[in-house]
Structure 1
Amino acid sequence: MQEKKQTSAVTKWMTLIIVAIAGGLMTKLPYLRETYMVPLQEATGATKTQLGLIMSAYGIVNFICYFPGGILADKFSCKKLIIFSCFGTAAAGLWYWTMPGFVGLVIIHGIFAITTVFTFWAAMVKSINNLGGPDEQGRLFGFLEGGRGLIGTLVAFGSVAVFGKAIDQVGGMKNAIMYYSILLIIAGILAMIFLQDNKPVQTDGKKKNSLNFKDFMEVAKMPTVWLCGALGICNYSALIFHGYLTAYLSEAYGLSDTMVANLNIVRTYFMMMVGSFVAGFVSDKVGSRIKFIQYVFVGMAVFATVYLLIPTGGAAALPLIVANFLCFGLCLYSIKALYFSTIDEVFVPKRLAGTASGVISLVTYAPEMFLYTVSGNMVDKYTGTSTPLRGYQNCFTAMAVMSLIGFVCGAVLRYLNKKQRAKMEAEGINELA
């Protein structure tokens, strides 16, 4: 018995590590624009508008793929889907390396959407969800998100190193693309060797691997799943608005480009790692991921409001706003790590975990299609006016409002959960298969 437990622990940790590696690498190629905007323009010959259109195409196909990807993860082996995603993304990356024209880049990013979302995203979520029961989901997903952040940070620094080995920006860009493609191939090989192959659920002696809408309808009738998505959309919207904080620090306090860049790295990577690990362990200790998320939303609302209260322009206020920046970031990324840890807590059967993750993703990441434009317009509207910082302050207000809405959604979700738990106990149901 002891040996079995040890083997189970080894398998669990190996799965977490391999999936975190794949998850940390998977979106690096489609989001090269975020790190290498100018070199990417020179290498591909694309304008900023064309690069924006390419990313819009990627985001739209992503949105379309979240739901069917969830069904796919429930019907087929997560191991095979993850392996296919690693090799498929790498193959598209090798085409990317040839620097095709604009149409080719659009097609490549359409392929990226298929391999990073349709075949990978829900498979990643379900493979982690299957590793433990409801009392472990916080730690599991906290480790996953923190591990993805750690891997993402390390490989990003590696890409900068290989980029610098080239004699010009075009060569550097090709080096970075080849670097990520090779790492994805290695991740696929590791998945082939170390991941366990989960078998499709069987019904009436037959493999249940046909794609249909029956499972979606079963999940769609659960208001709690949609509310889990509402928690995600409130947090993710606040994350998009918070992206303007570093520009605000530059304009309102005169911080140097170097300092702003360093703070942006802290916001994007360090707070993601710290917040994820903390959230994973603390939320399981609390006993409810939803309760933890609900009250962290209170912290987000408070710290978003503090941004509005701190005086602008004075060097004396800098330590205060940086401290607030760290506190808000910790809250923000703590919730982000737990988007999918709520699946078991709202009594979704294990066999439908992938479909549920697809629905939650569909709702959570919907703002990607429009909120970047909306928030940008909010800031640009006051540029050159007598109140140039008003747009940023409106973003902080929106962050506070979204946080309060998230708190209310959490309260409703806990109420519905309590009713469902009482109903299951009355019917003598202890667990959903």
Structure 2
Amino acid sequence: MRNKEEITYKQLSKFQRALMIFLSGAGSGIIYVPVYLKNVFYEPLLVGLNVSNAQLGFLTGMYGIMATILYIPCGIVADKFRIRTLAAGGFISTAAVVLWYSFLPSYAILVLIFALLAVTTILIFWGCRYKLLRFSGSERDYPLIVGISYALYGLGGLVINAATLSVFNSTPDYRTGVQISLIFLAIVILVLGIVSWIAIPKFKGEIVTDPDKKFNVNEFLQALKTPGVWLASTTLFFVMIVYMGMNYTTPYLTNVFLAPLTLVSIVGMIRYYGIAIVASPLMGSLAKKVGSPSKVTFIAMAASALCVGGYLILPTTATFLTMAIIITLLLGFVANGAYGVASSLLTETHVPAHIFGAATGLLSVIGFLPESFMAQIFGTFIDNYANTGYNYIFICLLVSALIAMVFCVITLRYVKKHKGENGDPVPVEENTRESL
């Protein structure tokens, strides 16, 4: 019978602690796979769902719109319910929606499904992900735990996508492959939910009862007036466009270079998940060493601009397929790294501790806003201009990378001008989903 007594992290066994970190890290890498399946299986989804590029983009756009709305209330929910309730509820409800998704319903129902996936993965699960890590160990160990979690995130996504690819390749056609793959993902996510309910204990202090720690509108108003919040959020906004746009290198390799689906899927998995295992931790360590996340973000965006510029001048013949793959992986590395580091501009600009929760909420709303509309814009480019549409996508990424670099420079000047005014920086939890 389950022990109903509330405990602290000191009473966790090594296995329990490892399992909780796994559920937060690898579990996050798995629960979001159905939402972003197009990042690896773009062409099969187009055929399997019988939708256009713009419609496929709008599905993730709908998810992004709902996620943007739910980022702030998800933190309130996380403070009112137990971690095991939210983790198990998030996994199990997501599994149910993904199972519905596997029936490949009409486009209108698909839009509803992606909206519901935002409710299950953001409102229910997102807030408890970091809380699960917070209660897994001491505050001193937290940075190490987060680093391990990010590595497991990439590893979990890589392994589950490799398994999904294997399942997909065993099916006779794209539509059946998509359907069976989604059923497989639903089963795996359901198992994670059951394990969460059984394995996660009740913790002392996990439910907030102190009125001073509840939602405070004044904190958000003050955060809105803080320049550092806007600098970090705007930088992340343009970094996010580059991060999202790199996912279109997968159909680019398929449609322009006529690369085989299996090869493209493997490249997509390595670019999106495998590289994330090392890119974000490495960029984070570099940012810590140089003492400036904005400098590292600047360098990463400069490298991203060179990569997408390379796409624009690269001859689109089979001879240059290997070079295109190399550019794809390099872009994946620098874009993943910038995505993982950009939110740390909050600490570099010394956002005050008492509004830091509100600041991270606003960072999520503004920084992740491109998820609401960019995928549909990119899809429309491809629908209207065929393969030429990819050039328009790369131009958007090039411009976004350059603008992000400008805001990094502005941030550096702001920090230099206001050095020592606001005290020491406040540690920040990375506020990303796939790096997330």
CA distance in 2, matches of 1:266, 1:13: 25
Aligned equivalent of 2:369: 366
Contiguous gaps of at least 5 residues in structure 2: 1-8, 429-436
Of 57, 63, 77, 1:72 maps to 77
**For residue 395 of structure 2, what is the aligned residue in structure 1?**
394
Please name the residue that 1:109 is paired with: 114
For residues 25-424 of structure 1, the aligned pairs below 5 Å read: 25-34=30-39, 51=56, 53-74=58-79, 76-98=81-103, 100-125=105-130, 127-128=132-133, 137=143, 141-164=146-169, 172-192=177-197, 193-194=199-200, 197=203, 198-203=205-210, 208=213, 213-245=217-249, 254=257, 256-257=259-260, 260-305=264-309, 312=315, 323-341=326-344, 355-375=358-378, 391=392, 394-395=395-396, 397-412=398-413, 414-415=415-416, 419=419, 421-424=420-423
Structure 1: tracts of 5 or more residues without a match: none
Distance, in Å, in 2 between the alignment partners of 1:47 and 1:323 is 28
Partner AA of 2:374 in structure 1: L
Structure 1 residues 35, 195: CA separation in 2 closer, same or farther (over 3 Å shift)? farther
Change over 3 Å in CA distance of 1:339–1:135 after alignment to 2: farther
| Cα distance in 1, alignment partners of residues 377 and 36 from structure 2 | 20
Distance 1:247 1:395, change over 3 A: farther
Deviation, 1:21, is 2.0
Cα-to-partner distance string for 1:61-98 (whole Å, 9 max, x where unaligned): 22221232244335554553333211221222333345
Partners of 2:173 and 2:163 lie apart in 1 by 17
* Structure 1 position 320, deviation (Å): 6.1
* Aligned residue in 1 for 2:4: none
Provide the TM-score with structure 1 as the length reference.
Answer: 0.75
Distance across 2 between alignment mates of 1:46 and 1:188: 31
Task: Give the deviation of 1:264 after TM superposition.
Answer: 3.3
Paired amino acid for 1:68: P
Q: Which amino acid aligns with 2:129?
A: M
AA partner of residue 114 (structure 2): H
Distance in 2, matches of 1:196 and 1:118, equals: 20
**114 and 286 in structure 1: CA distance in 2 versus 1, 3 angstrom threshold:** same
Change (3 A) 1:115 1:219: farther
1:422 Cα shift?
3.6
Contact persistence 2:231–2:407 (CA under 8 A) = no
How many residues are treated as equivalent by the alignment?
416
Farther off after superposition, 343-352 or 230-239: 343-352
Deviates more, 1:45-54 or 1:360-369: 45-54
Q: Which residue of 1 aligns with 2:434?
A: none
Q: Distance in 2 between matches of 1:9 and 1:342?
A: 34
Residues 120-139 of structure 1 deviation map (CA, whole Å, 9 limit, x = unaligned): 224324555776769964x5
Between the aligned partners of 1:101 and 1:404, the Cα distance in structure 2 is 42
SS class of match (1:119) = helix
CA distance, structure 2, for counterparts of residue 380 and residue 81 of structure 1: 39
Give the RMSD, CA atoms, in angstroms. Answer: 4.4
Shift in Å, 1:334: 0.9
Query: 1:241 is matched by which residue type in structure 2?
Result: G
